[in-house]
Amino acid sequence: MILIHGAGGHAAAMWPFAALAAARGFDVRVPDLPGYGHTRVPSSRAIRYADWVDCVDDLVRAVKAADSRPLVLVGASVGGMLAYTVAARTGMVDALATTCLLDPRLARVRAAVARRPWLGRYGTRLLVPAIDDLRIPMRLLANMSAISNDPELTRVVSADPHGGGAWMPLGFLRTYLRSDPGLEPEDFTSCPVWLVHPGADRWTPLALSQSFFDRIAAPKRLVVLDAAGHFPVETPGIHQLADAFAEIRDRLVSGPVPAGT
């Protein structure tokens, strides 16, 4: 399993979820993406969303070249569509699981992910290449106040200099808001897809992801994590996430995932 964080996370923040997967038989890798965690880049002002896609793409290809075991790619938050994009681009992923599938081509998605809805709606026009290199904490760009339903966890994530408090260039946000998944869901057939969506997500409600998920042509499964926020730590949702990991493992061993929910 390769576990991909979102705009408020980083590798260390994802390790509790990696531990759940490891306890269910997975060998888990959790990378820090450019600008987050302990990554080192030639220029922090030059990071763009395409760098995240290329980073995960390279990692998937390297892992598959070195290891013949089935590969599960898991994406959290905006990492969900990132994982989808890489799965579509490489064709090397054996199962895909995401907590969200947010298509930034949709105005309602852009409005939801941004700290202020107007920034998401009009960011594709307001954010111009001339200001790409200006770096701002992610908590001022994204709606980090809704990342968790636990106020203390929200505070920790928002202040974390490796995650929600990381300084990212406006060019990253501009290129993310202008990005597309690379393959329409009606044409995605390379692997089964699990959408394991938090049921009490105040940041990105299920409807934002389900409109894309419902169009996916591959076998798919929807699991709603009961009582869980965007950063899903609550019970019983966290246990349902662990059960979903076990189901993915079993399906890779025994056969294809059944269609539906």
pLDDT value of residue 261: 46
CB contact burial 83-112 (16+ within 10 A = b; e otherwise)? bbbbbbbbebbbbbbbbbbbbbeeeebbbb
Predicted TM-score (pTM) of this structure: 0.94
Q: Which two tokens stand for residue 184?
A: 């329409």
**111 within 8 A of 121, measured Cβ to Cβ:** yes
Read off the DSSP letter of residue 234: S
Q: What percent of the chain has pLDDT over 90?
A: 89
Q: What is the mean pLDDT of residues 122-145?
A: 90
pLDDT digits (tens, 9 = 90+) for 38-59: 999 999 999 999 999 999 999 9
The least confident of 2-6, 230-234, 255-259 is: 255-259
Residue in this structure with the two tokens 């700290």, named with its chain if needed: 115
pLDDT digits (tens, 9 = 90+) for 67-98: 999 999 999 999 999 999 999 999 999 999 99
> Residues 8, 13, 19, 25: what is their CA dihedral angle, to the nearest 10 degrees?
50
Looking at domain 2-254, its CATH class is: alpha beta
pLDDT digits (tens, 9 = 90+) for 171-191: 999 999 999 999 999 999 999
CB atoms within 10 A of CB 250: 13
**AA letter at 138:** M
Helix, strand, coil shares, percent, the chain, to 5: 45, 10, 45
**What distances in angstroms separate CA 73 from CA 80, 88, 109, 112, 219, one per listed residue?**
9, 11, 23, 24, 15
The C-alpha atoms of residue 207 and residue 217 are separated, in whole angstroms, by 18
pLDDT digits (tens, 9 = 90+) for 188-217: 999 999 999 999 999 999 999 999 999 999
pLDDT value of residue 136: 94
